[in-house]
Structure 1
Amino acid sequence: MDTTKVRPYLFILLVFAIPLLLIPVIKMAKNDSQLLQEPPAQTQKDTLRGDYAIIIHGGAGNFTADDLSEAEKLAYKKALFEALESGKSMLSSGKEAVYVVENVINMLEDDSLFNAGKGAVLTHEGHAELDASIMRGYDRNAGAVAGVRTIRNPISAARMVMDSSVHVLLSGRGAEAFSRTVGLKQVDNSYFITEKSQKRLKVSIDKHGTVGCAVLDTHGNLAAGTSTGGMNNKRYGRIGDSPIIGAGTWADNQTCAISATGWGEYFIRLGVAHEISALMRYEEVSLEGAAHEVINKQLEQLGGYGGIIGVDAFGNVTAVFNTTGMYRAYYDAQGKQEIKLFLD
């Protein structure tokens, strides 16, 4: 047999046969690598749905209608209404949820009625120390600042930590230095101090209130944010739940966006905001049902008090609290709007 004639055919056979034999091996390797990879992150939704929802709060506490004058009631309702209308206007024009949250909370931080930004309660030494956090639902990215004294709008600093750093939580002087590098407005600590906050410190009136906002935008994305002056007469650099992602703030497009207010130590221990989301995700409980389970059962069993506001992926909103009052306002995806101060 003439082997010189066979060799070319053997070569051609090997060239075509070897790749065919390797296909199963390549597929197995590919499948193994896919098993080792984490599931892909959620992507931002871009399709305009048209409907949107927003809910805001100005703090929860054991106050009743008898504790406020008619002028004070009107002032709180006016502030909540203006913040709500601003948020609605942004949402109706297609603005992203996270920027609506930031804008609404900016307004509440600038209003001395609330325990956030200007008008925040004071530390034992007479300073204002502020905390804030923000989170968006489509990629669960988040940012927060804690114990800051010179940043005019802490929620904006939290948003910049989320968008312009690799971190989630910055504190104290480091957070302030970062805020200067990104061009945020700085103020002297005296800017935050009001006659009302000084009086509260002298008589040790505690106010756990805080401000927050949760939003579903017209693209189907959720976001939430929280800002606070913390606990009146606090010491030792105490930090509550407001800047803690999963305790005071949470957002996940698959479940809900949450902002909390109340006795922060208990909210941290329970991971309140994330616990509500987890019940929705794993137990298929509604937003309303999950919020009641966490606030009216789990929180009360520990001895804590306060409440949450939330919105789910369908534009349903809720405000659940175990105190006698919570300053709150909302507009839901069905077009219903309300502003309330006390327990119904």
Structure 2
Amino acid sequence: MIHGGAGVVSRENLGPELEKQFRDKLSEALDTGQAVLSRGGTSIDAVEHTIRVMENSPLFNAGKGAVFSHYGTNEMDASLMDGKTLNAGAVAGVGDVKNPISLARKVMEKSEHVMLYGSGASEFARQQGLTTVDSSYFFTQNRWDALQHYLATEGKNKFGTVGCAALDQYGNLAAGTSTGGMTNKKFHRIGDSPIIGAGTYASNQSCAISCTGHGEFFIRYTVARTISALMEYKHLSFHDAADEVINNELVKAGGDGGMIGVDKEGNIVMMTNTPGMFRGFVKSDGEKQVAIYGDEK
């Protein structure tokens, strides 16, 4: 299961050429994860490699396509969680690591911590031998233009995130999320994506989830963990638990966004309370779907 952000997405805004680019890249990401799992790889491996595909694309608000903050910088967040052990790793405010999701995995596996921030996270990345890049790597004209437009008009913030959830042949779940945050974010704001239980959660007792949307609401309502808890303690189905949080609690609170995930039985959910969400899934039997708009089933 993958997502590439949720929001006001329409056919008129995208246009056929850009729509095809998104669908092709989502399909490539799914194929990457499927290949990992079919070779006997773990759900953690699948999540990391799938998200790296989207981080390396300028289409999505993560890695290469990360939006700019108010200060004209890129401040990226990411997290990864292992459903078998409940171990997790996260990074926030990173500006020079090519693939933040890989750094989140290093934090999970090679440190005693869960979250590292800013320059400390970058120092740890270098110690672990991860690829660091000059800030110019993250410059894309359309993201820069979006910041200038926002500064000129004080328009509405744009949200966008990439994420993946996977179930492997060993019965283990994993989920990960990566984002550049909000266009024009100030004061080194951190959203829900690196916060375990808000934007990312995985437990073999329930499900694996990655979220996207207005992070402040996902933090306040601990969206990912709440869905899992409703399954564990109230024995709701995955769909009903997600529906209660995404389409009831969040809507009442005024929070926009969505989630994707898979439960311990292999049931999948893709749900958003916005007009569209870049999303897709591929199953072990080869069934595959990529979708963008709300009216696609």
Q: TM-score, normalised by structure 1?
A: 0.83
User: What residue number does 1:300 align with?
Assistant: 251
- Indicate the SS of the match to 1:69: helix
User: What residue number does 1:243 align with?
Assistant: 194
**Conserved in 2, the CA contact under 8 Å of 1:119 and 1:196?**
no
2:228 to 263, 277, 282: 277
Aligned length: 290
Matches within 5 A, 1:1-344: 55-204=1-150, 206-332=157-283, 335-344=286-295
> 1:80 is matched by which residue type in structure 2?
L
Per-residue CA deviation, residues 176-219 of structure 1 (Å, 9 max, x unaligned), is: 11111010100011111100110100111632110000000111
Q: Which consecutive residues of structure 2, in runs of 5 or more, have no partner in the other structure?
A: none
> 2:245 is matched by which residue type in structure 1?
V
Cα distance in 2 for residues equivalent to 1:147 and 1:307: 23
Cα distance in 1 for residues equivalent to 2:208 and 2:77: 19
RMSD between aligned alpha carbons?
Answer: 0.9
**Conserved in 1, the CA contact under 8 Å of 2:162 and 2:179?**
yes
Q: Alpha-carbon deviation of 1:333? A: 5.1
Cα distance in 2 for residues equivalent to 1:116 and 1:331: 22
Going from structure 1 to structure 2, the CA distance change for 1:286 and 1:334 (only over 3 Å counts) comes to: farther
Larger gyration radius, structure 1 or structure 2: 1
**Conserved in 1, the CA contact under 8 Å of 2:210 and 2:259?**
yes
**Conserved in 2, the CA contact under 8 Å of 1:147 and 1:172?**
yes
**Conserved in 2, the CA contact under 8 Å of 1:134 and 1:144?**
yes
Cα distance in 2 for residues equivalent to 1:145 and 1:271: 18
Cα distance in 2 for residues equivalent to 1:210 and 1:220: 26
Cα distance in 1 for residues equivalent to 2:64 and 2:284: 32
Q: Which consecutive residues of structure 1, in runs of 5 or more, have no partner in the other structure?
A: 1-54
- Indicate the SS of the match to 1:230: coil
- Indicate the SS of the match to 1:115: coil
Cα distance in 2 for residues equivalent to 1:333 and 1:276: 24
> 2:236 is matched by which residue type in structure 1?
V
**Conserved in 1, the CA contact under 8 Å of 2:9 and 2:292?**
no
> 1:181 is matched by which residue type in structure 2?
Q
Higher alpha-carbon deviation: 81-90 or 158-167: 81-90
Cα distance in 2 for residues equivalent to 1:332 and 1:250: 20
- Indicate the SS of the match to 2:92: strand
Cα distance in 2 for residues equivalent to 1:260 and 1:274: 11
Q: Alpha-carbon deviation of 1:332? A: 3.1
- Indicate the SS of the match to 1:214: strand
**Conserved in 1, the CA contact under 8 Å of 2:84 and 2:172?**
yes
Per-residue CA deviation, residues 240-264 of structure 1 (Å, 9 max, x unaligned), is: 0000000000000010000000000
Per-residue CA deviation, residues 53-103 of structure 1 (Å, 9 max, x unaligned), is: xx0010000121111110001000000001101111111111000011000
**Conserved in 2, the CA contact under 8 Å of 1:121 and 1:207?**
no
Q: What is the percentage of aligned positions where both structures have the same residue?
A: 52
User: What residue number does 1:35 align with?
Assistant: none
User: What residue number does 1:32 align with?
Assistant: none
Cα distance in 2 for residues equivalent to 1:127 and 1:190: 10
